[in-house]
Amino acid sequence: MGTAGRSVRDSLLDAAAELLVERGYRGVRMRDVAAAANVSRQTVYNEFGDKWGLARAVVVRDNDRYLDGIDRVLSEHADLYSAVTAAVLFTLEVSADDQLKKAVLTGAGGDELLPLLTTRAEPVLFTASARIAEHALAQWPGLDRTALTEITDAAVRLTASHIMLPSVPPDEVAHLIARMVTRYVGAPVTGADPALAG
């Protein structure tokens, strides 16, 4: 569609994200999204198919923006252990302040949207796992691709479970997942690991 198409799509996604936060999934109507973006309701249907498709697109875009942040965080660290620790902490902290994720996980309409991060989250989780693994392989080319791909998927799913049901402080989760990842791929576990202290 070109630039104009992307602009309309972004306007619709911005409007939908705001309405999802304000009203929850049940309270969002396609006509309200259309009105907020100053387009026809048919344009919304043409772009996303239905309300579920629209909500999914909002969550996928939010995930893409989050992954841009993960790319930055990973690039700031020379060793894998520190990078994974920082990436998990970043994820948990960003998610705690993310109004859209809160709308998905809790609040009005949370039950309807929860599958976007759980049972029907495969596209989101797959994209996250694949992109993080590719970044790590580019940054640390000596790592085994198969092992890294396997453990990245497990790490992403474990981090997501801590977003939805936190049980221990974020820094403990971050170090636990960093130990899991580095040991699985045979990378050094650095002195930054509190479990090695004392």
pTM exceeding the 0.85 threshold for the entire prediction:
no
For 155-192, the pLDDT digits (tens) are 998 998 888 788 889 999 999 999 999 999 998 887 56
**CB within 8 Å of 99: residues ≥ 6 apart:** 21
Average pLDDT value for residue range 11-37: 91
8 A C-beta contact, residue 80 and residue 136: yes
8 A C-beta contact, residue 121 and residue 115: yes
For 48-104, the pLDDT digits (tens) are 999 989 988 988 888 888 889 999 999 999 999 999 999 999 999 888 877 777 666
- CA–CA separation, 118 and 102 (whole Å): 14
- CA–CA separation, 87 and 132 (whole Å): 10
Confidence of residue 195 (pLDDT cuts 50, 70, 90): low
For 123-132, the pLDDT digits (tens) are 666 778 889 9
Domains, the chain, in order of start with CATH, read 2-187 (1.10.357.10)
From the list 141, 177, 129, the residue with the least C-alpha distance to 189 is: 177
